[in-house]
Amino acid sequence: MNAKIKIRNLQKKFGSKTVLDNLSLEIFENESLAIIGESGSGKSVLTKCINGLTEYNEGKIIYENSYDVKNLKTEEKRLHISKFGVLFQNSALFDSLNVEKNIFFSCSEKKDFSILRDVGLDKSILSKMPAEISVGVQKRVGLARAIMSKPKILIFDEPTTGLDPVIADQINKLIRGLVIKKKLTTITITHDMKSVYEYADKVAFIKNGKIEWYGQVKQLKNCKNIYMKNFISGKI
Partner 1 sequence: MQNFFTNLLYLPKNIGRLTYFFFDSIGFKFIFFLKCIKSCFTPDYYPDLVLKQIIKIGYNSLPVVGMTAIFTGMVLALQSYTGFSRFSAESAIPNVVVLSITRELSPVLAGLMVAGRAGAAIAAEIGTMKVTEQIDALKTLSTNPLNYLVAPRIIAGLISLPFLVFVGDIVGVFGGYLICVYVLNFNPEVFLVNIFNFVEFIDVFSGLVKASVFGLIITFMGCYHGFHASGGAQGVGLATTYSVVSSSIMILLFNYILTSIFFQI
Ligand X SMILES: Nc1ncnc2c1ncn2[C@@H]1O[C@H](COP(=O)(O)OP(=O)(O)OP(=O)(O)O)[C@@H](O)[C@H]1O
Q: Is 43 in the site for ligand X (CB under 6 A)?
A: yes
Q: Is 44 in the site for Mg ion (CB under 5 A)?
A: yes
Which of 38-46, 136-144, 147-155, 214-222 is the region at the interface with ligand X (rule: CB under 6 A)? Answer: 38-46
Are the C-beta atoms of residues 102 and 88 closer than 8 Å to each other? no
Q: Is 190 in the site for ligand X (CB under 6 A)?
A: no
Q: Is 51 in the site for partner 1 (CB under 8 A)?
A: yes
- Amino acid sitting at position 26: E
User: How many chain residues bind partner 1 (CB under 8 A)?
Assistant: 23
Distance separating alpha carbons of residues 122 and 49, to the nearest angstrom: 35
**Site pattern 61..100 for partner 1 (x: CB under 8 A):** -----------------x--xx-xxx-xxx-xxxxx----
User: How many chain residues bind ligand X (CB under 6 A)?
Assistant: 11
Which parts of the chain fold into alpha helices (H)? Answer: 43-50, 74-81, 99-103, 114-118, 135-148, 165-182, 193-199, 226-233
SS3 content of the chain, % helix, strand, coil (to 5): 35, 30, 35
Which of 42-50, 70-78, 193-201, 217-225 is the region at the interface with Mg ion (rule: CB under 5 A)? Answer: 42-50
Binding site for Mg ion (CB under 5 A): 44
